[in-house]
Amino acid sequence: MNLQQVAQPRPFANGFGRRREMGSRQDNKLQSGKSNPSRLPNAGGGYESSSRDRLVYLTTCFIGLPVEVQVKNGSIISGIFHATNADKDFGIVLKMARLTKDGPVRGQKAISDSVSKAPSKILIIPAKELVQVIAKDVSVTRDGFSNELQQDKLQDIMLDSIISQSRHIEMERELERWVPDEDIPQCPELEKTFDGPWKRGWDQFEINKKLFGVNSTFDEEIYTTKLDRGPQTRELEKEALRLAREIEGEETHDLHLAEERGLHLHANFDIDEEARFSSVLRRVDISEDNEDGMLDSHNDETFGGSSGLAIGRHFADLTTGKSSDVAQVSSSSSSVDEAQSSQSGTGLDLYHSGSHDHARHLALDSQSRVQENQFSEQQVGNNHAKEFVEKQTLAEEAQTSKSEDLQSLLDAKKDGSDKGGLSPNATAYAPSHGSSKSQENMGSPAEVSEGPVSARTMGETQSVNSRGRPSSSTSSASDCVGATPASIGPGLSPSSSVGSLSSEKSTLNPHAKEFKLNPNAKSFIPSQTPIGHSFSGHQPVIFNPQAAPIQSPQTYFHPNGPQYGQQMFFGHPRQVLYMPGYPPEMPYKGRDF
Amino acid sequence: MNDSFTIIIIYVDDILITAQEGSDSGPRRNIRLLKANYIKEFSYLGQAEDPLDPKKCCIDLNALQAREEVAIRQAEADAERIGVGVTVEAQNIFDALSKTLPVRWDKTAIVVMNEVRVSSPYLPESVSGGTPAANERVKKVLEFERKRLQARVAGQ
C-alpha cells in the first residue's frame, strides 16, 4: 500500500513509506484480522517503533467518532475525528467542530450568555495547541467492531428518541416522590368507593347536572327490555332467581361458562389462552373449547330466517356479550334434523349471563321480546335465550323434532324465515322454516357456526333439563312460515325457565326489523288445548299467517309456567312458539308486517 | 486546569501518552491522548494487563470511513438547528418550538412554518407574520415554552 497516494492536502499525510494505519484516509482497505504491529516493518525513523503503531491504530479507530479536544487555553472543542498527524508531534484534524466549552470563560453564567457560532467544517488543531483528546466508547478490538456494526445497522431504524431528539432539548429532572398536598381533605380511598353493594345513593345524572348543567336524556329502556313491574313482580322475581341459580349451577362443559361460574377449570394444559379466551371456534368438538361459535354464528347472519326463538331476543338483554354460552342451549342433538341449526346456537346463551343479577333480570324481562324485530336489533350473539335453554331441557321428552333447532333467538337478523329448530330434547321450538341454510343438524356440530354451538348447548341443557319445556315441534312444527322470529318456542315457557318471568313487552317494537314472509315455509298449526292453557302468558306464534293464534295471547311470564311446562312434556309434535311480549290484549296478527 | 484521573497506559512516547480510562477491557473504552508536556505530575499505581491485545486488533477502513460520513451528515443536520450568533436562551426556545412546529433559523430569527417569524428577544410580542391563526398559535406555543423553560431553570 502506498501511503503517499493518500492525498492529504495538509501536512498530515503520512510520509512514511512503510505501511501504517493512520487516521487519514486511505485508498486501500486494510486487511482486517491482522494485528498492526506485525505488519509494520521497522523501516524509517525513530518514531516508528512498533509501539507507536498502537497510537496509530487507536487513532484510526477514532475515525468518525466524536471526540473532545482540549486545547491550550482550556477550551474544549468537540468534533468528528478525521485525521491526525502522528509522525512528529501530535496534531489533529476535526470535522464539524464546535466550541463546547470556552476556556477563558469561567462559570456557567457566562456560557449561557455567550453567543453560539456555527460549527467549522474542518478544524485543524495544531500540535502546540493540543492538550488532550478524549474519545469515548471507542471499539478497540474486533468484538467492539462487530458490535458497532450491528449498532450501526440498528441505527437505520428510526428510534423514537432520535426522532424526538430530546437530547437537544431537555435535561433530566430530579424526580420527586409525589406527596399529596397538606391542605386537601382526606379523600376516601378510591378503591373503596364501590365496595358497598350497589350504592344507589349515587346518581350520576344528578351530579352531572349539578356540576355541569348537563341534562341527560338517558333512558334505560332504550337499551334494555322494559320490565313490567306488575302485581306479579315478586313472584316473577322469585322464579327468575330460581332459574338463574339453576342455570348457574349447571354443569357445563363450556370453558367459558365454567370460568364464569367460578368452576375450577380442570387442569388441562392443552387448553391454552386462545382456547380459554378467544371467540374463534376452532374445532367442532362439542366438548371443549367452546369458542363462541355462537358468537360467530350470531355475527353471521346465519340464522337465516328469523330465529324462531324469539326468546333469544329477550335474552339479548342478558347478553353478556359472550355468546359462548349460547351453546348451552342444548339442542338435543338428535333433533336437529333439518338443521336449521344455524340459528340455534346463538340464542342459547343461557349461561351467559354471568351474574346472578343479570340472570335474574334477564329472566324478568326477557320474555317479552320475542318479536323478531327485536331480535334483529339485539346484539347478535348476545341475545341468547338463556331461558331458552332451560326450556330446552324441558324438551327432553319432547319428541325429536327434527327440524327443530334451538335457534338462538338472538339473531334475528335473519330476515324472514326463522329457524326454529327445536331439538327434541331441548326446547325446541322455533319453527324452522325452510330456510336454506339450515340443513345442519343441530346435533352435529358440523358447521362451524351456530350449528355446533347450538348442538352443544343443546346437549348441555339436556342435562339441566327439567323444565319440561314443551319441546319442539315435530317436523311440522319446524316449518314455520317464515314466521316470526318470535317463536321462542317452548323453551320460553314462562314457568320454567329462565327468567322468563319478566314482564312481557307490551308494545311492538317500532324499530323492529321487517319481517319477510317466507312463502315456502311450511305452515304450522300448533295443537290446541293443553298447550294453550298451559302457556298462560305465552304468545303462540303462528307461522302461518292464516292460522289463528292458538294460544291466547297472554303474558309470557305467567306464573302458570310450571303447569305449562308439564304440559309441554306431553305435547309433542306441537311446536309451540311463543312470542313473548305480546301483550295479552293484542291478538296475534299473523305477522303481516 | 487541574484534572486528575486514573488511566492505563497503552503507549507512551515522549510526546504523547495514549491511555485508556479505567480498567475495563471490554470492547468499548474511553481513550485519552495526552500531551506529555501538560502532565503536571503523575504517580505510578501499578502494573496492569496490556489493555490492547494485539491479536484482536483489526481495522475495517471502509467501515470507518462510512461511519465518518454518517457522522458528518448527522452533524450537519444538527448544525442546521443551531442558530449562529444567538444566545443560549434563543437556542433553547428554538429547540422547544421545534418539538411541535417546523422551525428553522434565518440569521437570528426563528422562522416557523415558513411563515411566522420570531425575532429577538423572542417574546410573544416578537412574533410576526403568517396568517392570524398561525401567528396566534406560534404566540401561544412560545409563551408556553417560555414558561416551561423558566420553570425548569428555576427548578435546577
Q: Does A51 contact B11 at a Cβ distance shorter than 8 Å?
A: yes
Angle (deg, nearest 10), helices A386-394 and A450-464: 60
Q: Do B65 and A63 touch (CB under 8 A)?
A: yes
B-chain CB neighbours of A171 within 8 Å are 152, 156
Burial of A68 (0-12, 13-18, 19+ CB in 10 A): middle
Residue A243's pLDDT is 92
Q: DSSP character for A356?
A: H
Cα distance between residue A275 and residue A255, in whole Å: 8
C-alpha of A181 from chain center? 40
> Do A4 and A22 form a contact (C-beta atoms < 8 A)?
no
Q: Which stretches of B1-156 are assigned E, i.e. beta strand?
A: 7-12, 16-21, 28-35, 103-106, 109-112, 116-118, 127-128
A219 touches chain B (CB under 8 A): no
Q: Indicate the helix (H) or strand (E) that contains A84.
A: strand A76-85
Residue A445 CA to residue A83 CA, distance in Å, equals 77
A344 vs A218, higher pLDDT: A218
Higher pLDDT pick, A515 / B150: B150
Is residue A308 scored above 70 in pLDDT?
no
Collapsing DSSP states into helix, strand and coil, what is residue A46?
coil
CA distance, residue B81 to nearest chain A CA (Å): 10
Question: Looking at residue A278, what is its pLDDT?
Answer: 74
Query: Taking a contact as any Cβ pair under 8 Å apart, which residues of chain A between 128 and 167 contact chain B?
Result: 130-145, 147-149, 152, 155, 164-165
Give the Cα-Cα-Cα angle A236, A241, A243 (nearest 5 degrees).
95
Q: B19 in helix, strand or coil?
A: strand
Q: Any residues with CB less than 8 A from the CB of A416 and at least 6 apart, and which? A: A305, A306, A433, A435, A482, A515, A516, A517, A518
Distance between CA A446 and CA A36 in Å, rounded? 75
What angle separates helix A561-570 from helix A386-394, to the nearest 10 degrees?
50
Q: Which pLDDT score is estimated for A242?
A: 92
Using DSSP's 3-state secondary structure scheme, residue A490 falls into: helix
Span A260-280, average pLDDT:
67
Contacts of A36 in chain B (CB under 8 A): 54, 57, 59
Mutate: best of B2, B14, B64, B76, partner A, most A CBs <10 A:
B64
Whole-number Cα distances in Å, B28 to A138, B9, B60, B104: 5, 16, 16, 36
State the pLDDT confidence band at A271, using cuts at 50, 70 and 90.
low
Provide the sign of the torsion angle of the four alpha carbons A106, A109, A115, A118, taken in this order.
positive
Give me the interface pTM, i.e. the ipTM.
0.78
Identify which of A116, A149, A174 has the shortest CB distance to residue B85. A116
Identity (one letter) of the amino acid at B47? Answer: Q
Which residue among A52, A141, A165 sits closest to B11, beta carbon to beta carbon? A52
Positions in chain B whose pLDDT score sits under 50:
none
Cβ distance A132 to B28 less than 8 Å, yes or no, reads no
CA A148 to each of CA B23, B51, B60, B67, B75: distance values in angstroms, whole numbers, following the listed order: 20, 19, 12, 10, 19
Chain A, residues 91-120, CB within 8 A of chain B, namely: 95-96, 98, 111-119
Neighbour-count burial for A275-300, b at 16+ CB within 10 Å, e otherwise: beebbebeebebebbbbbbbbbbbbb
Tell me what pLDDT residue B91 has.
Answer: 85
Contact of A342 with A451, CB cutoff 8 Å: yes
Per-residue model confidence as pLDDT tens digits over A488-499: 444 344 444 444
Asked whether the beta carbons of A437 and A342 are under 8 A apart, the reply is yes
* Contact A232/B at CB under 8 A: no
A49 and B CB contact within 8 Å: yes
CA distance A64 to A82: 6
Contacts 24+ apart (CB under 8 A), A153-159: A155/B70
CA neighbor of B142 nearest in space, from B128, B155, B156: B128
Three cell numbers at A496? Answer: 320454567
Residue whose C-alpha cell is 351530579: A207
Kindly report, residue by residue over A62-100, the tens digit of the pLDDT.
Answer: 888 888 888 888 888 888 888 888 777 778 888 888 887
Confidence of residue A378 (pLDDT cuts 50, 70, 90): very low
Query: B88-98 and B61-81 helices cross at what angle (nearest 10)?
Result: 100
Angle at A533 between CA A530 and CA A535, to 5 degrees: 105
3-state class (DSSP) for residue A188: coil
- pLDDT over 70 at A365, yes or no: no
Adjacency order of strands within the sheet including B103-106: B103-106, B109-112, B116-118, B127-128
Of A133-142, A206-215, A459-468, A578-587, which one has max mean pLDDT? Answer: A206-215
CB contact under 8 A, B61 and A29: yes
Quickly count: other Cβ atoms within 10 Å of residue A399's Cβ: 23
Q: Measuring CA to CA, how many Å separate A575 from each of A405, A411, B134?
A: 11, 20, 72
Chain A residue numbers with beta carbons less than 8 Å from the beta carbon of B81 are 168
From the list B13, B54, B61, the residue facing A52 with the nearest CB is: B13
A525 Cβ neighbours under 8 A, 6+ residues apart: A476, A544, A547, A550
Comparison of pLDDT for A88 and A112, the residue scoring more:
A88
- Contact yes or no for A24/A8 (Cβ under 8 A): yes
User: Cell numbers 433553547 label which residue?
Assistant: B92
Residue with cell 516493518: A41
Percent of chain A with pLDDT over 70: 27
More confident residue, A144 or A281: A281
How many Cβ atoms are within 10 Å of A235's Cβ, its own excluded?
A: 14
Under 8 Å between Cβ of A275 and A386: no
Q: What does the alpha-carbon distance between residue A392 and residue A327 come to, in Å, rounded to a whole number?
A: 12
Rounded CA separation A371/A313 (Å)? 7
User: Average pLDDT in the A408-413 region?
Assistant: 40
Residue B11's DSSP bridge partners are B18
What is the distance in angstroms between the Cα of B33 and the nearest Cα belonging to chain A?
A: 5
From chain A, the residues in CB contact with B27 under 8 A are 139-141, 143-145, 147
DSSP state for residue A448 in the 8-state scheme: S
User: Is residue A206 exposed (0-12), middle (13-18) or buried (19+ Cβ within 10 Å)?
Assistant: exposed
The whole-angstrom distance between A351's CA and the closest CA on chain B is: 52
CA A54 – CA A21 distance, rounded (Å): 10
What CA–CA distance (Å, rounded) separates A190 from A187?
8
Higher pLDDT, B97 or A484: B97
Going by C-alpha positions, the residue among B21, B18, B65, B9 that lies closest to residue A23 is B65
- The C-alpha angle A466, A581, A562, rounded to 5 degrees, equals 25
- pTM, two decimals, is 0.38
Chain B residues with CB inside 8 Å of A131's CB?
A: 34-35, 38
CB environment A521-535: b (16+ within 10 A), e (fewer): bbbbbbbeebbbebb
How far is the CA of B151 from the CAs of A173, B144, B154, in angstroms? 11, 11, 5
Closest CA to A532 of A552, A562, A559, A555: A552
Task: Express the helix, strand and coil content of chain B in percent, nearest 5 each.
Answer: 40, 20, 35
Nearest CA in chain A to B97: A169
Task: Decide if pLDDT at A181 tops 60.
Answer: yes
Highest mean pLDDT among A415-429, A457-471, B93-107: B93-107
HSE of A417 in the Cβ direction (CA atoms, 13 Å)?
27
Is B99's CB within 8 Å of A63's CB? no
